[in-house]
Amino acid sequence: MTNEIISWLSVGLILATSATILINRDWRVSLGSLAVQYIAVFWLVSRHLPFVMGSVKLIAGWMVVAALGMTRLGLTNLDREEEDTFWPRGRWFRIILIMIVALVTAGATPRIEAAIPGLGLPVIAGGLLLIGAGVFHLGVTSDLLRVILGLLTMLAGFEIIYAAVESSILVTGFLAVTNLGLGIVGSYLLVAGSTPLESGEDL
Amino acid sequence: MNAPLLWIALPFITGVLILFFLRERYSALAGGGLSAILALIALIIPIDTALLIGSISLKISPSIQFFGRSFELNTADGPLLAIIFGIATLWFFGTEASGTANRFVSLGLMIISLLTASIAVEPFLYAALLLEIAAMLIVLLLVPAYQKPGRGVVRFLIYQTLAMPFILFSGWMLAGVESSPGDLSTTTQAGTILGLGFAFLLAVFPLYNWIPMLMEENSPYATGFLLWVLPTFTVIFALGFLDRYAWLRTSPQLASAIQFAGVLMVASGGIFAALQRHIGRMLGYASIAETGLLILIMGLKPSEIVNLTFLILIPRGLALAVWALALSIIKRLAYSLRFNEIQGLARRYPLAVIALLLAQLSMSGFPLLAGFPARLAIWQELAAQSLGITVWVFAGSLGLLVAAIRTLAVFVMVDEEKKWGLNESWVQSAMLGLGVIGLFILGLFPQVLLPFMVNLPSLFDHIGQ
């Protein structure tokens, strides 16, 4: 019973953090929310995987947050980075988006539980919320850091659900490498272009 | 000796060592040399068979255990490894001529080793994860530290990352379909999710917009490498799905959907290529059209799929290498690669221009060149199946041919007084010359591929037989 309550609290935490990442423009708040989000992900993953394998996701996630945070901290010229203005991107628009994700999750969760029994309602709800929030985030931004945040959010949602159906150590390891890789690639892309040209390579 | 250690771990470790310890001038030699040796070993020494050399018994064992799962490269994988590492050799030696840094060779070796791991991993479904990790290394290859990443790179990363969950989920669902094949709703869901996954991976229409963007924003040589390496391994991965799951092979609706996607890519790729005014983007659209052909082949009779696929994959690797090398040589002078900047370059870089045009013509299926025998075989199969599809495939090839003629016209558009000159270095001339000879040999004598191709069908238990 306690576990069930904590699981639903984790879903609530996921909703709050993914909404914050989607709505808030401050990168510090977004990365902080991502770090908190990984705690909820850890709990939901641990419903189906051993504690040690779940903690791999938590540690990998926090390492990604640290890498992105350290990189972003060193960049000073990105505060007024221009975003693609083609798509609507106001705060209310994003709030509506996260509400749509929450509604779709609420509608789809019992149906998925009926189709694939044994996953658990909180696991499905948490996974769907993150996948939805991540995909919507990718749809409304062209900012590099936000794209990486969207991909990490989407992957975290996928990992929660996939952990329930696949418990291989190799897959857990590869998914951790994928998360770390996204963090490193994101950091690299953030700093790329800010260093001066040293040689005439890669023409 | 162990096959996964030899063809996966060794290139990866060598790639890391080259990145940190080797100077730029030696990296092409080291990477190209290692790839050539690995290709020769794959060609000469059969895996899992004991060889007696003098008093020494030599056997390459096929598998290795890693975190409870196995990586296996069997006897049937030998010719495939020879092809992959043989074409990789061309790309790595080409870096010397293209002027790209040792980053290309080191990251290229790591990418090839990860993708080789994707064909070796059991269960084969985990290949999706290795493809994603390889895609992230490709991003590092595409964007040098001094260049701001463009939109093409970001889209490429998004699409490749979106593909992985779809494929892993579909693989899990397909296991359910196997146990209850009569469940139509699960079958449809699994097929749809799998289709979406491969649509992202293979950049099926309309998800291919990142390809021309990359060709415009990034190094043509690195992008050309990406356009060779990723579709090649993705197609082999897709053939694994077709081979493993009988309902995928036998479903007429799925075959129609695959053919529709393929035709759309061939026709749109060819037509868009004809409308471009940027020779880099033309390469992008030509590769899209060729990936369309590979998808189209998957919808043909199962007995023909493997042979036709590899008949097109081998010349594709060569043509893309020659085309990308010629583009990178030309790009040193005409940075944007737009028509207005490359006018008259035929007189200053005649070898690069000739090689570029021949590679372009080869990919349009022009007779006597490497791409023609494969297209002839595909047209023959398609004509027996559907005249409508054949017409659209011809339209795509015609578009690529028009693009080649337009490129030629721009390259020779110059005053009569302008003098001819050979500005390519001897390394560039040698690499381009070898590539062009290869294009003609594969076009005139396609039977030279027979020793490689004769055992390739045994890679697959069902579709190859």
pLDDT in tens, A40-96: 999 999 999 999 999 999 999 999 999 999 999 888 765 555 555 555 568 888 999
The answer for residues whose C-beta is within 8 angstroms of residue B97's C-beta and 6 or more apart is: B325, B329, B425, B427, B428, B430, B431, B432
Percent of chain A scoring above 90 in pLDDT:
66
Q: Does one domain contain both B87 and B110?
A: yes
In a domain, residue A199? The reply is: no
Q: Spell out which residues of chain A touch residue B327, defining contact as CB-CB under 8 Å.
A: none
Question: Which pLDDT tens digit goes with each residue over B301-315?
Answer: 888 888 899 999 999
d(CA A189, CA B9): 27
Q: In this structure, what token pair is assigned to residue A169? A: 């150590």
Lowest mean pLDDT among A110-124, B149-163, B270-284, B414-428: B414-428
CB contact under 8 A, B69 and A202: no
Q: Is residue B435 domain-resident?
A: yes
Whether the CB-CB separation of A43 and A158 falls below 8 Å is answered with no
Query: Do B91 and B228 meet the contact criterion of CB atoms below 8 Å apart?
Result: yes
Q: Give the pLDDT score at A88.
A: 58
C-alpha to C-alpha distance for B156 and B141, rounded to whole angstroms: 13
Is there a contact between A141 and A133 (Cβ–Cβ < 8 Å)?
no
A195 touches chain B (CB under 8 A): yes
Query: Considering the domain boundaries, does residue A196 fall inside one?
Result: no
CB B140 to CB A188 under 8 A?
A: yes
- Tell me, yes or no, whether B107 and B154 share the same domain: no
- Residue B332 touches partner A, C-beta closer than 8 Å: yes
DSSP, collapsed to helix, strand or coil, labels residue B69 as strand
What is the predicted pLDDT for the residue at B184? 76
Domain co-membership, B50 together with B146: no
pLDDT of residue B162: 95
On whether both B255 and B376 belong to a single domain, the answer is: yes
Residue B95: pLDDT over 50:
yes
Please report whether residue B464 resides in a domain. Answer: no
Pick B93 or A201 by higher pLDDT: B93
pLDDT at B464: 67
The last residue of a domain, from among B67, B90, B122: B122
For residue A36, give Cα distances in angstroms to A171, A201, B53, B322. Answer: 23, 41, 61, 50
**Same domain membership, residue B153 and residue B117:** no
Cβ-based neighbour number of residue B218 at 10 Å: 23
Contact A202 B219 (CB under 8 A): yes
Whether A153 maps to a domain, the answer reads yes
Strands B121-122, B63-66: parallel, antiparallel or unpaired by DSSP?
unpaired
In a domain, B209, yes or no: yes
Average pLDDT rounded to a whole number, residues B128-132: 93
Which chain B positions have a beta carbon within 8 Å of A198's beta carbon? 146
Euclidean distance between CA atoms B317 and B335, whole angstroms = 25
Residues of A in contact with B118 (CB under 8 A): none
Note whether A170 contacts B219, CB cutoff 8 Å: no
- Other CB atoms within a 10 A radius of the CB of residue A113 amount to 16
CB contact under 8 A, B67 and A182: no
- Owning domain of residue A19: 2-76+87-191
- Chain-chain contact of A195 with B147 (C-beta, under 8 angstroms): no
Identity of the residue in A142, A171, A192 whose CB atom sits nearest the CB atom of B147: A192
Examine the domain organization and report whether B82 and B134 are in the same domain: no
- What are the backbone dihedrals phi and psi of residue B409, each rounded to the nearest 5 degrees, phi first? -60, -40
What is the structure's pLDDT at A81?
52
With b for 16 or more beta-carbon neighbours within 10 A and e for fewer, the B51-70 pattern comes to: eeeeeeeeebebbbebeebe
Q: What is the mean pLDDT of residues B10-22?
A: 91
Residues of chain B in contact with residue A189, where contact means CB-CB under 8 angstroms, are 139, 143, 149, 153-154
Note whether A170 contacts B149, CB cutoff 8 Å.
no
Same domain membership, residue B20 and residue B148: no
Per the domain annotation, does B156 fall within a domain? yes
Q: What is the pLDDT of residue B461?
A: 80
- Residues facing B121 on adjacent strands: B71
| B347-to-B278, B280, B338, B353, B426 alpha-carbon distances in Å | 19, 20, 17, 9, 17
B99 and B230, same domain (yes or no): no
Closest Cα in chain B, distance from residue A190 (Å)? 8
DSSP per residue over B417-449, as a string? TPPP---S-HHHHHHHHHHHHHHHHHHH-GGGG
Cα–Cα dist B167/A185, whole Å: 22
Q: Which of B144, B154, B169 sits opposite A202 (nearest CB)?
A: B144
Please, what is the average pLDDT of chain A? 88
Do residues A127 and A157 touch, judged by C-beta distance below 8 A? yes
Average pLDDT on B256-280 reads 94
Is B207 in the same domain as B171?
yes
Q: What is the pLDDT of residue B102?
A: 66
pLDDT at res. B196: 93
User: What is the DSSP pairing of strand B69-72 with strand B63-66?
Assistant: antiparallel
Q: Containing H/E element for B308?
A: helix B302-331
Q: How many domains does chain B have?
A: 2
Q: How far is residue B385's CA from residue A107's CA, in Å, rounded to a whole number?
A: 45
Contact call for residues A40 and A11 (beta carbons, < 8 A): yes
> Would residue A197 count as lying in a domain?
no
- Judge whether A202 lies within some domain: no
Whether residue B149 lies within 8 A of chain A, CB to CB, comes out as yes
CB A148 within 8 A of CB A69: no
Which of B70, B88, B122 marks a domain boundary?
B122
Q: Do B139 and B54 belong together in one domain?
A: no
Q: Which of B88, B103, B122 is the last residue of a domain?
A: B122
Give phi and psi for A86, each to the nearest 5.
Answer: -70, -45
Q: Is the pLDDT of residue B420 over 70?
A: yes
- Flag whether A104 is in a domain: yes
Taking alpha carbons only, the member of B298, B291, B240 closest to residue B120 is B240
Residue B109 · residue B31 · CB < 8 Å: yes
Q: β-pairing, B56-58 with B51-53?
A: antiparallel
Q: Is A52 on the interface with B (CB under 8 A)?
A: no
Convert the pLDDT of each residue in B352-375 to its tens digit: 999 999 999 999 999 999 999 999
Whether pLDDT at A198 is above 60: no
Q: Has residue A201 got a pLDDT over 70?
A: no
Number of compact structural domains in chain A = 1
A201 is a domain residue: no
Neighbouring residues of A32: CB distance < 8 A, sequence distance ≥ 6:
none
Is residue A108 domain-resident?
yes
Distance from C-alpha of B351 to C-alpha of B329, rounded to nearest angstrom: 10
**Does A162 contact chain B (CB < 8 Å)?**
yes
Name the percent of chain B lying above pLDDT 70: 99
**Is-contact B395 B270, C-beta < 8 A?**
yes
Tell me which chain B residue has its CA closest to the CA of residue A158: B165
Start-to-end Cα distance in chain B:
30
- Cβ–Cβ below 8 Å for B172 and A174: no
Percent of chain B with pLDDT over 90: 61
Indicate whether B141 and B35 sit together in one domain.
no
Predicted ipTM? 0.91
Mean pLDDT of B126-145: 93
Domain containing B4 equals: 1-122
Contact at CB, B165 and A154, closer than 8 angstroms:
yes
pLDDT at residue B465, rounded to an integer: 64
Output the CA torsion B275→B279→B281→B283 (10° steps): 110
pLDDT, one tens digit per residue, over A164-176 is: 988 889 899 999 9
A31, A21 contact by CB (below 8 A): no
Q: Are residues B114 and B176 in the same domain?
A: no
Of B68, B172, B335, nearest to A170 by CB-CB distance is B68
